[in-house]
């Protein structure tokens, strides 16, 4: 069965640079979620989209933005990167508010 695809799997950026993470949800899923997991921490909800519209917002910094495109893939854009942004970033998708399925994540390292 198709799963949630995230790219890239690993990313190294310098401070103050910009990063773009991509998420391809399970086909026909209408909702995408983004989570951030810092070292030794639990996943924290950032933002979600339902049918290409932002549906919920968590503790997402103003330097981050996200959108969902017409083909339902989503991108998380992070600007002015800080060392503290180093984390695993997970994308998840669901259909009509049912259980969410997660991708394998993108490990972002800011140096």
Instruction: Please tell me whether residue 65 binds another protein under the rule CB under 8 A.
Output: no
Among 21, 66, 90, 108, binds another protein (CB under 8 A): 90
Part of the chain binding another protein (CB under 8 A), chosen from 12-20, 21-29, 53-61, 73-81? 53-61
Among 12, 11, 52, 57, smallest CA distance to 34 is for: 57
CB of 105 to another protein, least distance (A): 5
Instruction: Please tell me whether residue 96 binds another protein under the rule CB under 8 A.
Output: yes
- Report how far residue 95's alpha carbon sits from residue 15's, in angstroms, rounded to the nearest whole number: 36
Among 66, 53, 70, 64, smallest CA distance to 87 is for: 64
Question: H or E element: which one contains 94?
Answer: strand 87-94
Instruction: Please tell me whether residue 36 binds another protein under the rule CB under 8 A.
Output: no
Among 50, 62, 68, 86, binds another protein (CB under 8 A): 50
């Amino acid at each position: 069965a198709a799963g949630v695809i995230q790219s890239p799997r690993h990313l190294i950026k310098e401070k103050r640079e910009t990063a773009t993470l991509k998420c391809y949800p399970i086909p026909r899923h209408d909702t995408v979620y983004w989570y951030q997991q810092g070292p030794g921490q639990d996943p924290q909800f950032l933002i979600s989209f339902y049918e290409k519209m932002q549906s919920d917002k968590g503790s997402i910094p103003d330097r981050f933005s996200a959108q969902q495109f017409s083909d339902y893939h989503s991108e998380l854009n992070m600007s002015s990167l800080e060392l503290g942004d180093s984390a695993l970033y997970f994308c998840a998708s669901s259909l009509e508010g049912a259980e969410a399925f997660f991708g394998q994540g993108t490990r972002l390292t800011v140096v």
